Amino acid sequence: MATSDTDILSLSDRILSEQLSLISQQIKSILVIVLVISSLTTFTLWAIVPHKILLTWLVLVNFPSVLRLILFYVQRKHDINLTLLSIINIFLAAFSGTAWGAVGFFFPMYGDATTLLFITVVLFGVTSGSVPGLSSFVPCYFAFAIPVMSGLAFRYFSVNDEMNISAGIFCIIFLFINLAFSLVIQKSLLLSIRLRFENSDLVKNLRLEKDKAIAASHAKSTFLAAASHDLRQPLHAMGFFIESLKKNQPNEKQSQLLQKIERTSDNLRGQLNALLDISKIDAGIITPFVSPLALGEIFNKLKNEFTPLAQEKNITINILSVSWIIESDPHMIDRILNNLMSNAIRYTDNGGKILLGCRKKNGALKIEVHDTGIGIPNHLMNEIFTEYYQINNPERNQNKGLGLGLSIVKGMCDLLHHKINVTSTVGKGTCFQITVPLSNRFPILAEKQDHKFDLDSQTGNIILIDDETDTLDAMSHLIGKWGHTVLPFEAEQDVLKFLNENEFMPDIIITDFRLREMRTGAQAIDAINNHYKKCIPAIIITGDTAKDRMLQARESGHILLHKPIMPASLRTVINSTLQKNLN
């Protein structure tokens, strides 16, 4: 049967097709064996049996094998109904068995006891030798073996003496033994074929489900990347508009309203940044910068940040004083512990307790965050590290975040090769444990890690490109208030047209990554640099979280910032870039 047809057959039909296929696959070897044995038999009986009868028998006994060979090639080009194919195979087996049975019944009449003994040996060999070849489909073997041994048995029974009758009975017994053996072989073979097909179907279904899951995951990632980009654009502009409004000295009522707007904006910014972190981890574009760090400084920073939050919920927070030096990435370990502390406060009820400490074990340091919160059931221990999963938040309360905190923790721990363990008892609390390597080097001091620049330092000329009008207006307005000369453009060709008609030397190029006409910020920077025949410092700001776009932006080699960026952060980057140019 053709492959396309066997794919849509029922399991029983597929098994039958395979049984018949196994017979067809042996047809060439069967043809040779039958030809050799029948030729030797003809040669042996040539002096005993009339030549015409012997040659007729030789043709008849090989005729089914030739037909099987023809059928084999027909099957390869044409589909044949399984029922018809079964009947044809049974008929050919019966035809062949009858031709061999004729040897046992008719040919001994022309010879003596020696001739009968030779024929008996030949037919016993043919009967037992065909068991492996035809037992894949038992009806074929039965149709072949019964006529073969029946003709010989009848010949023995026709000689009316005890010896020949006993020999005839032995022929029948031998026949039944071979029939039983054939049934055993077919049963074993059917089980093997069934298991193979069931396993094949299982693998095929698993592959389909895997493809569906991959497609769903890709669709989700594409949707989130698109949604994240589209949300980051207005939020990015909103941050700059809010900053501009704050500089207009609003009255007390307006100031309170502005604070609420800013708080809402910050909440959304935090959620989008969590999406960005997950996207960065998935894209593999985060490269850890491992260095010796003073854990005490990290703990002090966490204490200053989370003590007020704990006090709001009447939670007792205890962050131990430590003096260990560890090997880790300063920003990633800070984010890991920040997320764990945030989780501890979020899931610990009023009046609860939180402890942040560490202990040395087996040459490494185990940083532990204990809380007396709601706890995690054992069956959810692995689920908590899944993206967007949250315990006790079916209503998706935005104040509880997006459920990405522990996913980010797990992803960053994997990048840093920091082992993470969690133990928990429902109703009593949870302990997260991060194992980090100890360091024998001097730590990088905190003040050397933070690069601070004078906000009132050198001003400069800036080319600003963004195809979003609101974003362009908000950024150009605020950057202009910082004392810089800003030329805003919505497209690359607008910049080049202006530069060809006017003399203007920019100190910095700030551009969105995704521009009009399928151009990128990196391409726009290259075009401007080609115009000036020099490399101008550039900053790319992107709202993309898709893996390929983030990799493209990073590989451009320019300063890369992600929307929505805080105005103060952008101001710091601009000033630091200008100061580097002066130096």
Residue 538 CA to residue 121 CA, distance in Å, equals: 95
pLDDT of residue 398: 46
| Residues 6 or more apart whose Cβ sits within 8 Å of residue 508 | 460, 461, 462, 463, 536, 537, 538, 539, 574, 577, 578
Asked if residue 436 has pLDDT above 90, the reply is yes
Per-domain residue ranges of the chain:
3-159, 219-285+453-583, 291-449
> In this structure, are strands 461-465 and 485-489 parallel, antiparallel, or unpaired?
parallel
Residue 3 has pLDDT above 60, yes or no: no
Q: What is the DSSP string of 472-498?
A: HHHHHHHHHHTT-EEEEESSHHHHHHH
* DSSP code, position 564: S
Number of other residues whose CB lies within 10 A of the CB of residue 454: 9
Instruction: Give start and end residues of each alpha helix (H) in 402-518.
Output: 405-416, 446-449, 469-481, 492-501
- CA 498 to chain centroid, in Å, comes to 49
pLDDT at 508: 93
User: For residues 4 and 336, which has the higher predicted lDDT (pLDDT)?
Assistant: 336
How many Å separate Cα 53 from the centre of its chain?
70
Q: 218 or 580: whose pLDDT is higher?
A: 580
CB-CB neighbours of 424 under 10 Å: 20
Exposure string for 270-302, b = 16+ CB within 10 A, e = fewer: ebbbbbbbbbbbbbeebebebebbbbebbbeeb
Q: Provide the pLDDT for residue 175.
A: 92
Residue 507 · residue 535 · CB < 8 Å: no
325-328 vs 291-294, strand pairing mode: antiparallel
| Cβ(28)–Cβ(145) below 8 Å | no
Confidence of residue 524 (pLDDT cuts 50, 70, 90): very high
Could you tell me if residue 518 is left (phi over 0), alpha (psi between -120 and 50 degrees) or otherwise beta? left
Kindly give the pairing relationship between strand 485-489 and strand 291-294: unpaired
So what's the pLDDT on residue 354?
93
The answer to whether residues 529 and 522 touch, using CB atoms and an 8 Å cutoff, is: no
Question: Span 58-87, mean pLDDT?
Answer: 85
* pLDDT computed for residue 355 by the predictor: 94
CATH of domain 219-285+453-583: 3.40.50.2300
Distance of alpha carbon 537 from alpha carbon 511, whole angstroms: 11
425 pLDDT higher than 80: yes
d(CA 31, CA 451): 87
236, pLDDT greater than 50: yes
Cα angle 95, 100, 101 (rounded to 5 degrees) comes to 95
Distance of CA 502 to the CA centre of its chain: 54
455 pLDDT band, cuts 50/70/90, is very low
pLDDT (tens digit per residue) in 251-262 = 777 777 777 777
Distance in angstroms (rounded) separating the CA atoms of residues 219 and 215: 6
Range ranked top by mean pLDDT from 52-66, 76-90, 105-119, 451-465 = 52-66
Pairwise CA distance, residues 555 & 134, whole Å: 66
Handedness of CA 531, 535, 536, 537 (dihedral sign): positive
How confident is residue 174, by pLDDT bands cut at 50, 70 and 90? very high
**pLDDT tier at 299 (50, 70, 90 boundaries)?**
very high
pLDDT at 451: 39
Residues 188, 136: Cα–Cα separation, whole Å: 9
Q: Are 351 and 420 in contact (CB under 8 A)?
A: no
C-alpha closest to that of 98 among 68, 60, 136, 69: 60
The predicted model gives 221-230 an average pLDDT of 60
Q: What was the pLDDT predicted at 81?
A: 83
Q: Does the pLDDT value for residue 34 go beyond 50?
A: yes
Residue 425's beta-bridge partner residues?
Answer: 429
Query: Which one is predicted more confidently, 320 or 384?
Result: 320
Confidence tier at 275 by pLDDT (50, 70, 90) = low
Is the pLDDT at 7 greater than 80? The verdict is no
Is residue 384 within 8 A of residue 343, CB to CB? The reply is: no
* Cα–Cα distance measured from residue 384 to residue 347, given in angstroms and rounded to the nearest whole number: 13
pTM for this one?
0.45
For 501-522, the pLDDT digits (tens) are 998 999 999 998 888 888 888 8
Q: What is the pLDDT of residues 301-355, one digit of tens each?
A: 888 888 888 888 899 999 998 889 999 988 889 888 988 998 888 888 888 999 9
Tell me the backbone φ, ψ of residue 351, rounded to 5 degrees.
Answer: 90, 0
HSE at residue 123, side-chain half, CA atoms within 13 A, is 34
Question: How does residue 448 score in pLDDT terms, banded at 50, 70 and 90?
Answer: very low
Mean pLDDT of 435-463: 66
What phi and psi, each to the nearest 5 degrees, are found at residue 365? -115, 130
Q: Are 135 and 85 in contact (CB under 8 A)?
A: no
Domain 291-449 indexed as CATH 3.30.565.10: yes
When pLDDT is averaged across residues 554-578 and rounded to a whole number, the result is 83
Confidence of residue 395 (pLDDT cuts 50, 70, 90): very low
Other C-beta atoms closer than 10 Å to the C-beta of 160 total 7
Residue showing tokens 């007792």: 316
For the stretch 167-187, what's the b/e string if a residue is b when 16 or more beta carbons lie within 10 angstroms of its beta carbon?
bbeebeebbeebbeebeebbe
Mean pLDDT score of the chain: 81
